[in-house]
Amino acid sequence: MSPFHERRRVLHWIGAAVLAPLAATPALGQDRAATPRMTEGPVYPRSFPQDVDADLTRVAGRARGAEGTPLEVTGRVLDRSGRPRAGSRIEIWQCDAFGHYHHVGAAAESGDPNFQGFGAVTTDAEGRYSFRTIKPVPYPGRTPHIHFAVQAPERRELITQMYVAGEPGTARDDLYRAIRDPRQRAAVTLALEPANGIEDGALAGAFDLVLA
């Protein structure tokens, strides 16, 4: 196994093992709060990068990595009873470290050319997924967030957004405030922990997606 893939495997484990105790997880068969549906927004890509993969910090053919704080987001796709949804396609998209979205028709030279901007993976037999990206940043009118879309077999597509716990602007964000159910707000608010033992300055977080 290459050092790169070994580091990703360990980061995946740290994200799950360190952050899981932060929130009580219902036992199998108990009702979980469904992840709230949110707007896709005007920033879903109109075109896609050639390397649509799980690592948004690297762009094929470019030597440098993306600007920003590395972030490993891991989690599972579940139904409300806790059963894993294997074979679900998860897409994420977000702005780069300078607040620019990619692949939405902006000038090619705008933003960070070393940030992929969009990624997609398929969950494994246990419903698990993993992305390597950057910690989201604010831009005018919005608190830091990452867009998620989940397409699970025999389920309606879920489009939602992930927020970072402790960000001062989140409580004022209109889309976040529109989530009235405290359980659903908690479901889209991710606590981040340092992953300095694996990569200096990196962060990790566990984000489960619960389908109604």
Domain at 92, CATH number? 2.60.130.10
Q: How far apart are CA 82 and CA 100, in angstroms?
A: 36
By CB atoms closer than 10 A (0-12, 13-18, 19+), residue 184 is: middle
Give Cβ neighbours of residue 163 (< 8 Å, ≥ 6 apart): 143, 144, 145, 170, 173, 176, 188, 189, 190
* Amino acid letter, 94: Q
Q: How far apart are the first and last CA of the chain?
A: 38
For the chain, the domain total comes to 1
What is the residue range of 163's domain?
3-24+31-211
Beta-carbon neighbour count of residue 5 at 10 Å?
9
pTM score, whole prediction: 0.85
Per residue in 86-138, pLDDT (tens digit) is 999 999 999 999 999 999 986 655 799 999 999 999 999 999 999 999 999 99
At 12, the amino acid letter reads H
Lowest mean pLDDT among 8-12, 65-69, 174-178, 194-198: 8-12
Say what percent of the chain tops pLDDT 90: 75
